[in-house]
Structure 1
Amino acid sequence: MADKKRLVVAMTGATGAIYGVRLLEILRAQPDWESHLVISAAGLVNLKYELAMDRRTLYALADVTHGIDDIAASIASGSFKTEGIVIAPCSMKTLAAVAHGFGDNLISRAADVALKERRKTVLIPRETPLNLAHIRNMAAVTEMGGIIYPPMPAFYNKSDSLTAMVNEGVGRILDMFGLEVAGLYKPWNGL
């Protein structure tokens, strides 16, 4: 597994657990990629509520799992090479922690590591409407080199299902890491 590219997938208690799950499903099918999963307690509650999925089923999708409080985990160190981190979904609490370098759990610490090492850091915030604190925190993460990727569907694809909309978002996110998966979405090529 040392030759594989590693991607950290973190999940928090914001709505949109399907994004983290779909990322893990796609990464699982990529022989050259290794997924590292960490999920918060609120993320587990949301996973069960939204998808009727339990921890064991989720963990089976990841190559490596880490506990939320395991600050000594491999992904808590910059010397552990990864392509970066995707927080999907990202709660406003986690956004604030990342924006202010408050590494009180493994999700915010792993994001802090990715930012300090100048690795791709993608946050999928799920909140609406946004207040000024949310917007400022998004700006702070962006100024540090992170990417804020609200899961907004592109209607030009005329997607007629939730699955197609999720696949489009996940496909575009994975493209940012250099992983192109055929069939997830149709890029815009003009009229």
Structure 2
Amino acid sequence: MASYEEHRRPRRIVVGISAATGAVYGVRVLEKLAEAGVESHLIISTWARRTIEHETGATVASVERLASVVHRPGDQASVLSSGSFRTDGMIVAPCSVRSVASIAHGVADNLLLRAADVTIKERKPLVLMVRETPLSVIHLENLTLLARAGVTIFPPVPAFYGQPGSIRDIVDHTVSRALDQLGVEDDQAHRWDGRLDRPARVDEPAASLWPPKTVG
């Protein structure tokens, strides 16, 4: 049964952004949490700061403004280091395999890793949007260890049944599905409706996804 404190406080999700490619996933997680009225606590790893600016064109400062609270990755005195600070879960988007290995083996030498460690020990949902391919047996063993501990392993695999028209559509669908794992409802999410009756629009395979090549 939820405590009195949990009934009166807002929903609270920790968001970690690690240095793996796919910083846009973390940015969209923050935006959608804000839209849903969820309190977000952000940790951006040191190298993720470079990745954000390289991949998205946004400044780190503008991304930080999307969060309710920002925590520095080296601040082990943060409230996120303690299980006494109540949260409703954590998502790492994207999650590098280095972070996966550290979390799997309890190496909590920065705040992002410590917050994940706390989330596991407090039996709160932890979602890792793991960005790596191909996966080696080392990666798979680390992921298996985490899955056995109750962690949700959520590689950002795109879905095409919604006929996405842009990269943003693909990212949004994936983020919405990830937030489902934390019990955060996205009113804009495209969900499978069981329909297979949409007519073909073109005669050439995949022509609606990729423009024809020009010659000469």
Give the TM interval when normalised to the shorter protein: over 0.9
Q: Measure, in 2, the Cα distance between the counterparts of 1:134 and 1:98.
A: 12
Matched, 1:16 2:28: no
1:178 Cα offset (Å): 1.6
Determine the structure 2 residue equivalent to 1:142: 147
1:78 Cα offset (Å): 0.6
Q: Measure, in 2, the Cα distance between the counterparts of 1:70 and 1:63.
A: 17
TM-score (norm 2): 0.84
* Distance 1:124-1:160 versus aligned 2 partners, 3 A rule: same
Which of 27, 38, 48 is 2:33 aligned to?
Answer: 27
1:25 Cα offset (Å): 0.6
Determine the structure 2 residue equivalent to 1:155: 160
Matched, 1:104 2:112: no
Q: Which amino acid aligns with 2:21?
A: T
Q: Which amino acid aligns with 2:20?
A: A
Q: Measure, in 2, the Cα distance between the counterparts of 1:96 and 1:30.
A: 31
Q: RMSD over aligned Cα, in angstroms? A: 1.4
Q: Measure, in 1, the Cα distance between the counterparts of 2:77 and 2:190.
A: 37
1:190 Cα offset (Å): 5.7
Which of 152, 172, 180 is 1:175 aligned to?
Answer: 180
Q: Measure, in 1, the Cα distance between the counterparts of 2:47 and 2:93.
A: 13
Identity among equivalent positions (%) equals 41
1:188 Cα offset (Å): 4.6
Q: How many residues align?
A: 190
Which of 125, 129, 132 is 2:134 aligned to?
Answer: 129
Q: Which runs of no fewer than 5 residues in structure 2 stay unpaired?
A: 1-7, 197-216
Q: Deviations over 1:81-136 (max 9, x none)?
A: 11111000001110000111110100110000000011000000111111111111
Which of structures 1 and 2 has the bigger CA Rg? 2
1:187 Cα offset (Å): 3.1
TM-score (norm 1): 0.95
Q: Measure, in 2, the Cα distance between the counterparts of 1:156 and 1:107.
A: 34
Q: State whether residues 13 and 43 of structure 1, in contact with CA within 8 Å, keep that contact through their aligned partners in structure 2.
A: yes
Q: Measure, in 2, the Cα distance between the counterparts of 1:158 and 1:24.
A: 24
Q: Measure, in 2, the Cα distance between the counterparts of 1:162 and 1:97.
A: 30
Q: Measure, in 1, the Cα distance between the counterparts of 2:123 and 2:87.
A: 11
* Distance 1:132-1:188 versus aligned 2 partners, 3 A rule: farther
Q: State whether residues 36 and 185 of structure 2, in contact with CA within 8 Å, keep that contact through their aligned partners in structure 1.
A: no
Q: Measure, in 2, the Cα distance between the counterparts of 1:188 and 1:93.
A: 37
Q: Measure, in 2, the Cα distance between the counterparts of 1:82 and 1:188.
A: 33
